[in-house]
Amino acid sequence: MDLPASAREGMKIARPKSAISRAVADKGIPMDGRASRRPLEIFAAILVAGGFIYSYHLGTDALGASEAYSAWAASKPGISAIVRTPVLHDPGKQVFYYVVLHYYTRIFGLSEISLRSMSVIFSLTTLVLVFALGCEMFDDNTALAAAAIWAFNPLAVVFAQTARMYPMLISIALAHLLLLLRVRSRPGIASGIGCGILGAALPYTHMAGLLILGAEGAILLRDLAHGRRDTMAWMALILAIALFVPYLPIALQQSQDLIYGHSLDYLGPPLNYSLAIKLVVGLTAAGAALWLVFGRSLERNGEEPIRLLVVWIVLPPLAFIVGSVMLHPMFNLRYLSPGIAASSLLIAGLLGAASIKWRNLLAAGFALLCLIVLPFDRPKPQPWRDLVEQVAAGDKSAPVFFESGYVSNGNTAEVPNGGFPFGYYSVPFDYYFRGDNPRIAIPGFDSAAARMTIEERVSSAGGGWLVSWKDGDAVKSELPDPKRFSVAEKYRSEHLAFYRITPIGK
C-alpha cells in the first residue's frame, strides 16, 4: 500500500542514525562533509591565551644555571665552537638547540626575554601539534580536549618560560610522530624524507630522542607482525639513524661519561641492586614491552591509536628505569617531556572512549584548575642578580671561587673528573657580573686542595667569595680554618650556597 508523502517523510525523520552518521556527528562534522569550525575557533582562543601566559614575566627572573649555559653556548662564534660545548662541558645535551638559539639570538640578542622567547615559540608549536595529532588519530573534539589539557599545565608553562632545549625536543618529537603516522598511512617520498630529517633532529637535540626513535620502531614492528609493511615509514627511521651516525662516536663517548663519569650523580649515586632485583626488573620490563608490541588488540579502531600512544609514551621511561637499576640513576622528568605532552592525547582519547560528555567537562575543568593554580605555582627566582650586587659592592680585588667538576651528591663529589673545569656556577655568575674580580676554579672533588687555594688567595687579597654547589656538610671540608678566617653564609638553597670569606682581624 502506498503511503502519503507526509507519512513517508515522517518515517525518514524517525529512522535511526547509521553508524557513519553517528561517527560523523561525534567528530563534529556536519552531514554536508564540511569540518565544524567550532573546535578550531576554541583552539585558536586557547592558543592566544597560551601565548599570553607563556610570555608573561619572561624577563623578570634571573636565568638559572642551565639557562645561562644555553646563553653561553649560543654566544659562541660559530657552529664548531658550539659543537664542542656539550662535548666538553655538558654531556647529553646535543648541539641542535644551541645552533638554532645561536642564530636566533644573533637577531634578537642574549637578554633573558630573547633567550626564553624561542621556548615560547616552540611551546606554541607544540600546542598546534597536539591538536593536529588529535585530529589525525581521533577527531577534532578529542584534539581540542587534548590541547586544553596540555595548554595551561604548570609543566608546559615552566618549559615555555625556560631557555632550555626541552620545548624544542617536545615540538620535534610530536612533529616527527605526526609525520610518521602520515607516512605510515599515506606513503610518499617527500614526506618520508622529511620524516627522516625530523627523526635525526631528535637525538641531535637530546640523547633521549634515541629512545623515542626506538619506541617508533616498536610501533612499526607491531604493524609488521600484523602483516603491514610500512616500507616508507621504515625508510624514514633508517634515514634518521643514518643522519645521526656521523655524530655517533661523540654520542657514545658522552653516554659513557654520563653513566660512569659522574655527571649524573645529581640524580644520586648508584644504588647497587642485587642481581636478583636486576633480573626481576629486566624481565618485567621486557615482558611489558613485548606485550605492548605484540599483544592482542583491544581496540575497535584498526589503527589502534590508544596502544600506539601507550607504546610511544611508556617505552622510553621503561628504558630509563631499567638503566637506572642496572647501571646508574638516569631517570629525570625533563627527559620524558615529549611523552608527558603526548599524555594529554592519551587521556583525551581514553575519556572520549568512555564518555564524550565527561571528556569535555573534565578537559575544561582541568584547564580551569590549572589557570587558578598558575599564579601560586611560580618557581623560586634565581639569586644571581643579588649575589652579583654583593660582589660588586665589595673589594674589586677579592677573588670569587667556583668548584670545578660535575655537580654531585654524597661520596661521589670526591671522585676526580674533568667536568666543568672553569667551575659550574661561573657561567651564570659571568652572565650578570662585569667586574674585574678574579674568578678562580677550585677542584670540587679535592677538598684539601680547594681549602689550601682559598686560604692562600683570601689571605693575600684580604677577602673573597665562594659559590658552591655542595650541601652544608660537604662544603665544610673545603672552607678555610675557622681560627684564622671568618666565613659568613650569605645565601643557601638546594645545590647553591654563597659565602663571604675574610681573614680574622681584617
Q: Report the 10 Å Cβ neighbour count for 482.
A: 10
| Nearest-angstrom CA–CA distance, 212 and 219 | 11
**The pLDDT value given to residue 93:** 62
Distance CA(314)–CA(309), nearest Å, equals 8
For position 441, what pLDDT does the model report?
Answer: 94
Q: What is the pLDDT of residue 399?
A: 96
Q: Between the ranges 63-67, 264-268, 347-351, where is the mean pLDDT highest? A: 347-351
Q: What is the 3-state secondary structure (H, E, C) of 343-409?
A: HHHHHHHHHHHHCHHHHHHHHHHHHHHHHHHHHHCCCCCECHHHHHHHHHHCCCCCCEEEEECCCCC
The two beta strands, 485-493 and 496-503, are antiparallel
For residue 377, the model assigns a pLDDT of 81
pLDDT, tens digit (0-9, with 9 covering 90-100), for 270-298:
678 888 999 999 999 999 999 999 999 88
Predicted pLDDT of residue 192: 94
Q: What confidence score (pLDDT) does residue 181 get?
A: 96
Residue 6 has pLDDT above 50, yes or no: no
**pLDDT bucket at 421, cuts 50 / 70 / 90:** confident
Residue with cell 596540555: 150
The string of pLDDT tens digits covering residues 436-449 is: 999 999 998 889 99
| Cα–Cα distance measured from residue 47 to residue 55, given in angstroms and rounded to the nearest whole number | 12
pLDDT for 484 equals 93
Q: pLDDT tens-digit profile of 101-147?
A: 999 999 999 999 999 999 999 999 999 999 999 999 999 999 999 99
Domain extents in the chain: 1-31, 37-376, 384-503
At which residue does the C-alpha cell 607491531 appear? 222
How much is the average pLDDT of 465-482? 89
Q: Mean pLDDT over all residues of the chain?
A: 86
Please determine, for residue 264, whether its predicted confidence score (pLDDT) is greater than 50: no
Residues 346 and 125: beta-carbon distance below 8 Å: no
pLDDT digits (tens, 9 = 90+) for 23-37: 444 444 443 334 478
Decide if pLDDT at 238 tops 60. yes
Q: What pLDDT is attached to residue 132?
A: 96
Query: In this model, does residue 156 exceed pLDDT 50?
Result: yes
Quote the cell numbers at residue 132: 593536529
Buried b / exposed e across 90-128, counting CB within 10 Å, b at 16+? bbbbbbbbbbbbbebbeeeebebebbbbbbbbbbbbbbe
Query: Would you say residue 234 has pLDDT above 80?
Result: yes
Strand order across the beta sheet in which 496-503 lies: 439-443, 400-404, 464-468, 496-503, 485-493
SS3 letters across 74-114? HCCCCHHHHHHHHHHHCCCECHHHHHHHHHHHHHHCCCHHH
pLDDT, position 376: 85
The string of pLDDT tens digits covering residues 136-150 is 999 999 999 999 999
Residues ≥6 apart with Cβ < 8 Å to 391: 398, 400, 433, 435, 437, 465
pLDDT band (50, 70, 90) for residue 380: confident
Q: If 0-12 CB within 10 Å is exposed, 13-18 middle and 19+ buried, where does residue 24 land? A: middle
